[in-house]
Chains A and B, each alone.
Chain A
């Protein structure tokens, strides 16, 4: 088992996401500690990208704030190196492929391993294209997380078979308003994946409160919450860590005690 999949051993995992450097690197640092304190099992740190094509308006705005404040890939690597001495849970970078490719995939994977990043989530690097990054990730022991979506259909099996760390199950909760149906889609996606793999399955995209998190935790191994947290950071800025802590704690409690389905 890997360090990432180990994080799913103590029950359902709570996986928060924050955009690195939003609104400043020092707030990001405080947020990381607050999220650990609130019970995060894994944290995803977004490396901001100028044109995040898979993000909704909340994270787009966060990326813009972070870049305007001067956040860079190197500064985030430095920050991780610094907090790594005291934060023990798995830390993942989530970013688009261009910042990695331009940095140099090999150099990037090496630096990630060096500072203590356990895995990468790259939403615009699908299964068919991931080899060019995967070789470097494997060489340095950094896990490349696979994603599946309700539209993956027959692709789900081949992606799940090759998965490491955890499988990021993309749901579109909230976008179409058909929450139950999409919840069902995520559930059946996970059931399909589980026929070929033991890799834990976490659901993300559109989970905005404790009630939804609780619903998802009935059938998923983990719950990823991004935009809802980033929205709080956007609202409170420098003062956001205490608000994020309260919110994250609520999610964690909901995830840890899912009602029986």
Chain B
């Protein structure tokens, strides 16, 4: 069996208990991805339930203000449930249903993936349990309630740092105890094979739409595609279609927290080294003995010490570039996009907006930057208010 390598990265570094589950998943996925009925059903859900295609919006005021390249925003924030996470979740929950599973479990950081999973589970009559780090349940209290409203059980994970990586570990442990009726809906392009491939394939709709929509509007390819990167699902979804188009620069924006030279960041490519964790070989923030570092970002969704293996390989081969963006820069961009375009981006997506502000002004006026706005920022309003010292109660 091909075990899902992206250059030297990827693989299946998981306990024996889970090996048959991932092998079965890989086989079933190969079978269903080629099935016309499955694809018709998924495409109908994406169109009529999630609201695809999402818009590609010309941010004219932002373009004028920055005075350089034309800025387009890929509006994943307008999807049902408010982020790109629904693309992958509808695919995986439908796949789980076809596989005869009756229960789905998932990790979540900011809560976007948890909400999307709870939503799809409600729609497709699946039992649903979500694992969320205790710190994140506090940062994103509204999303916890939202998931419960959708019928999911939310488990607060207290181990380790109580953030996304601990939620992933807890979900893996849960899966190992119950695989017969349960599918693990992994939320990012990470983990053991076949997850990085499955998630990428279900998210690749973002890049396909960007290419087609931009071609209709401008008759050409973008010069730069920008997306934020935690595990990297919206970024790989945005990049994948353009990997063969060498003229298109692909830039992932990772969370530098309080700065890449401080201990409080989650900038995996800037500070990480190659390691093996959560089922995959990739880059991780860790110490000299391979202990995973307690990372930090204002964004719960980017607060992860690793990056998906396909991104690690895009970095190794030089096809994509990864840049760090700090909390301060992201918060500025959060406010900037809100005031300039009337669009409140997720704090995750604001990392990509921040980097566009750095480069667009230096680019030519006939060049094009596409920013994937992976999610909407409603969930972040209270946290940003607190960050700015505003005493606000949810």
Chain A residues in the interface with B (C-beta under 8 A): 49-51, 53-54, 56-57, 60, 64, 67, 72-74, 96-103, 123-129, 147-153, 155, 159, 170, 172, 175-176
- Return chain B residues, CB-CB under 8 Å to A67: 291
Beyond A99-B291, A152-B16: 19 further Cβ-contacts under 8 Å? A51-B160, A53-B14, A53-B169, A53-B172, A54-B173, A57-B159, A60-B159, A64-B160, A73-B290, A98-B290, A126-B13, A147-B16, A149-B15, A149-B19, A151-B19, A155-B19, A170-B16, A172-B17, A176-B177
Chain B residues near A53 (CB-CB < 8 A): 14-15, 169, 172-173, 278
| Stretch from B199-207, B269-277, B370-378 that touches the partner | B269-277
Interface-centre pick from B16, B166, B172, B274 (highest chain A CB count, 10 A): B16
Of B19, B165, B288, the residue contacting A152 (CB under 8 A) is: B19
Q: How far is the CA of A149 from the CA of B176 in the complex (A)?
A: 10
Q: State the CA gap A148–B20 with chains docked (Å).
A: 11
Cβ of B1: which chain A residues have Cβ within 8 Å of it?
Answer: 128
1/0 contact string of B7-51 vs chain A (CB within 8 Å): 000011111111111000000000000000000000000000000
User: Once bound together, how far apart are the Cα atoms of A151 and B176, in whole Å?
Assistant: 10
B169, closest chain A residue (CB): A53
- A205's nearest neighbour on chain B, judged by CB, is B17
- Known contacts A53-B173, A149-B15, A176-B177, A101 near B290 by CB under 8 Å: yes
Query: A149 touching B159 by the CB < 8 A rule?
Result: no
Which of A103, A151, A155, A159 has its CB near the most chain B CB atoms (within 10 A)? A151
Q: Hey, which chain B residues are within 8 Å of A49, CB to CB?
A: 290-291
**Choice from B177, B279, B289 contacting A103 with Cβ under 8 Å:** B289
Given A51-B160, A151-B179: A128 in contact with B286 (beta carbons within 8 A): no
- Are the C-beta atoms of A54 and B15 separated by less than 8 Å? yes
CA distance A56 to B159 in the complex (A): 11
Return 20 A-B CB contacts under 8 Å, by A number.
A53-B14, A53-B15, A54-B17, A60-B159, A73-B290, A98-B286, A100-B290, A101-B276, A101-B281, A123-B16, A124-B276, A127-B16, A147-B15, A149-B16, A151-B20, A151-B21, A152-B19, A155-B16, A170-B16, A170-B17
> Are B15 and A126 within 8 A (Cβ)?
yes
Give the residue of B21, B165, B275 whose beta carbon is less than 8 angstroms from that of A101.
B275
**A102 with B16: CB separation less than 8 A:** no
List A contacts of B273 (CB < 8 A). Answer: 102
- One of A73, A96, A151 near B17 (C-beta < 8 A): A151
State the CA gap A170–B16 with chains docked (Å).
9
Chain B interface extent, by class: 35 or more
Inter-subunit contact A102/B290 (CB<8 Å): yes
Q: Once the chains bind, are B169 and A72 in contact (CB under 8 Å)?
A: no
| B284 CB to nearest chain A CB (Å) | 8
Binary per-residue interface labels of chain B (254-282) against chain A in the complex, 1 for a CB within 8 Å, 0 otherwise: 00000000000000000001111111010
Q: Specify which of B20, B166, B289, B292 is in contact with A72 (CB 8 Å cutoff).
A: B289
CB-based nearest B residue for A60: B159
Docked CA distance A98–B279 (Å):
10
The answer to whether B16 and A148 touch across the interface, beta carbons within 8 angstroms, is yes
Contact A99 B13 (CB under 8 A): no
Residues on B with beta carbons closer than 8 Å to the beta carbon of A155: 16, 19-20
**CB nearest to B13 among chain A residues:** A124
Q: Is the CB of A54 within 8 A of B275?
A: no
Contact A172 B177 (CB under 8 A): yes
Give the distance to chain A from B16, nearest Cβ to Cβ, in Å. Answer: 5
Closest 8 CB pairs of A and B: A102-B290, A99-B290, A98-B290, A50-B291, A149-B17, A54-B15, A147-B16, A149-B16
Residues of chain B within 8 A of A98, CB atoms compared: 275-277, 284, 286, 290, 292
Q: Which of B15, B166, B289 sits near A124, CB closer than 8 Å?
A: B15
B14 in contact with A124 (CB, 8 Å): yes
Q: Confirm or deny: B247 has a beta carbon within 8 angstroms of a beta carbon on chain A.
A: no
Q: Which residues of chain B have C-beta atoms less than 8 A from A101's C-beta?
A: 274-276, 281, 290
Confirm or deny: B338 has a beta carbon within 8 angstroms of a beta carbon on chain A.
no
Query: Which B residue's beta carbon lies closest to that of A55?
Result: B173
- What A residues does B160 contact at CB under 8 A? 50-51, 64
CA gap between A126 and B169 in the complex, in Å = 17
B residues 343-370 in Cβ contact with A at 8 Å: none
State A100–B176 Cα separation when bound (angstroms): 23
B340 within 8 A of A: no
Complex Cα–Cα for A154 and B183 (A): 21
Contacts of B177 in A (CB 8 A): 172, 175-176
Cα of A147 to Cα of B166 in the assembled complex, Å: 25
Task: Closest B residue to A75 by CB, please name it.
Answer: B289
Contacts of A153 in B (CB 8 A): 20
